[in-house]
Amino acid sequence: MSHDALIGRGLAEIDTPALVVDLDAMERNLALMASFAREHGVRLRPHAKMHKSAALAQLQMAAGAVGVCAQKTAEAECLAAAGVSDIFISNEVIAPAKLQRVALLARRLAEAGGQLSIAVDSVTGIERLAAACATADAEIDVFVEIDVGQHRCGVAPGAPALALARQIVQSPRLRFAGLQAYHGNAQHFRTAAERRAAIKRVAQEVAETVALIEGAGIAVALVTGAGTGTFALEAASGIYGELQAGSYLFMDADYARNEPDPAQPRFEHALFVKTQVMSVSATHVVCDAGHKSHAVDSGLPKVWNFGAAPTLEITGCSDESAVVKSLLGGSLPALGDKLWLVPGHCDPTVNLHDAMIGVRGGLQHGVVERIIKVDARGALG
């Protein structure tokens, strides 16, 4: 049955494996995050690399987000083509041909009343971006990315960030918009104390960098960053003006392993892989969802027990199947039984699917309400 033909039908009609969104849980997550940002006086710009869906980006903006982040040029192009008007590429782009696309997209979005902005961390990146903007007759807001501990992209805080800010200010068509300071590793520090200590240090470094740049006469209008693991800490820092959390909307199994922080709202799992048992033995059963259905980079999926303590666990995955064992010697499911898996990592899981099946009314008695297209699936360039 085609995805669209499922609309209005019960859960039993969803063939396996399938990526399913519990719409009620997702909307509760959406509302919780939107009200958190409102109450704390910070802008919310959720990361759309997580869901890659223009419809969900628009839902987030309708709930108060100022726009979304994208991580790749092609991702930004897909979201813009599907109607998303305010996109920040929170990542570096260096190939001149790609920067040409960035500049063209910036012009097109600006002409339509929207905007595109981008992060940089090199002299060459800024020179090439400025050249592309000149060719395309475009202007763009530019954030200097500083490395606050993830040791991925970004220049060191302090003088190197000031040097790039100066270069941007001196580049025609580029507007210095502020700093990006995202500590990806801290999102997954397991204890709340570790996350607090990390973001306290980060906030200090960011504050010193802001003071240095402003001391040189360049206004730092905005500091943007944060993810689902730490956003309450950045929001409380008084330094960050914008939160980029993405995974909160679906809440994967890896994030659920973080010790909760009372300062943060608790999100529910909203993304599931529906699977069924296709082979049984005395010791285990095998279901029909493997790592072509769900990413395993952040650990194997959890078998969802509808909020109760798990009774089954996935012990191994291959391309198209996963081995399921019983915890504590309990009974195993039978042939054809359906299971719901909570993926270890939502972003790369979504990227494996063309569409997500949105269910209203829960995973036991719900009905398919909508199909959510993964617009930017595979948009990696």
How far apart are the C-alpha atoms of 43 and 54, rounded to whole Å? 19
Q: Is 206 helix (H, G, I), strand (E, B) or coil?
A: helix
- In b/e form, how buried is each residue of 139-168, taking b as 16+ CB within 10 angstroms? bbbbbbbbbbbeeebbbebeebbbebbebb
117 lies in the site for ligand PLP, by CB under 6 A: no
Partnered with residue 367 across adjacent β-strands are 10, 360
CB-based closest residue to ligand PLP: 227
Decide if residue 241 touches ligand PLP (CB under 6 A): no
Q: Could you tell me which residues come within 8 angstroms of residue 163 by beta carbon, excluding any fewer than 6 positions away?
A: none
Question: Is 240 a binder of ligand PLP (CB under 6 A)?
Answer: no
Stretch that binds ligand PLP, among 171-179, 181-189, 275-283, 291-299 (CB under 6 A): 181-189
Using rule CB under 6 A, residue 244 touches ligand PLP? yes
| Span from 121-129, 162-170, 239-247, 336-344 in contact with ligand PLP (CB under 6 A) | 239-247
DSSP of 11-33: GGG--SSEEEEEHHHHHHHHHHH
Closest contact distance (angstroms) between CB of 90 and ligand PLP is: 4
Pattern of binders to ligand PLP over 183-202, x per CB under 6 A?
Answer: -x--x---------------
CA 41/CA 75 separation, integer angstroms: 28
Rule CB under 6 A: say whether 246 interacts with ligand PLP.
Answer: yes
Taking the least distance from each CB to ligand PLP, the nearer of 231 and 304 is: 231
Tell me how many residues contact ligand PLP (CB under 6 A): 13
Is it true that the peptide bond before 17 is cis, omega within 30 degrees of 0? Answer: yes
**CA angle 71–72–78, rounded 5-degree value:** 110
CB of 54 to ligand PLP, least distance (A): 18
Closer residue to ligand PLP in complex, CB, 16/71: 71
Looking at beta carbons only, is 6 or 253 nearer to ligand PLP?
253
Among 23, 126, 164, 245, binds ligand PLP (CB under 6 A): 245
Tokens 């704390």 identify what position? 40
What are the DSSP calls for 232-254, one per residue? HHHHHTSS--EE---GGGT--HH
Tell me the sheet residues that pair with 86: 115
Residues 74 to 103 in contact with ligand PLP, rule: CB under 6 A: 90
Q: For residues 244 and 321, which CB has a smaller minimum distance to ligand PLP in the complex?
A: 244
Residue 87 or 339 having the CB closest to ligand PLP: 87
Classify the phi-psi angles of 95: left when phi > 0, otherwise alpha if psi is within -120 to 50, otherwise beta.
beta
In DSSP notation, 27-58 reads HHHHHHHHHHHHHHT-EE--BTTTT--HHHHH
Q: Which helix (H) or strand (E) holds 212?
A: helix 192-215
Segment interacting with ligand PLP, rule: CB under 6 A, options 158-166, 180-188, 308-316, 370-378: 180-188
Contact residue for ligand PLP among 60, 228, 237, 349 (CB under 6 A):
228
Q: Identify the burial level of 238 via C-beta atoms within 10 angstroms of its C-beta, where 0-12 means exposed, 13-18 middle and 19 or more buried.
A: exposed
For ligand PLP, the closer CB: 6 or 243: 243
**Binding residue for ligand PLP, selected from 67, 154, 227, 344, defined by CB under 6 A:** 227
Out of 88, 143, 176, 182, the only residue in the binding site for ligand PLP (CB under 6 A) is 182
Residue given tokens 């929001």 in the structure block: 235
Scanning 244-252, 323-331, 356-364, 369-377 for contacts with ligand PLP by CB under 6 A, the matching segment is 244-252
**Is position 50 an interface residue for ligand PLP (rule: CB under 6 A)?**
yes
Specify the residue, 247 or 321, whose C-beta has the smaller distance to ligand PLP: 247
> What residue ranges bind ligand PLP (CB under 6 A)?
47, 50, 69, 90, 182, 184, 187, 227-228, 244-247
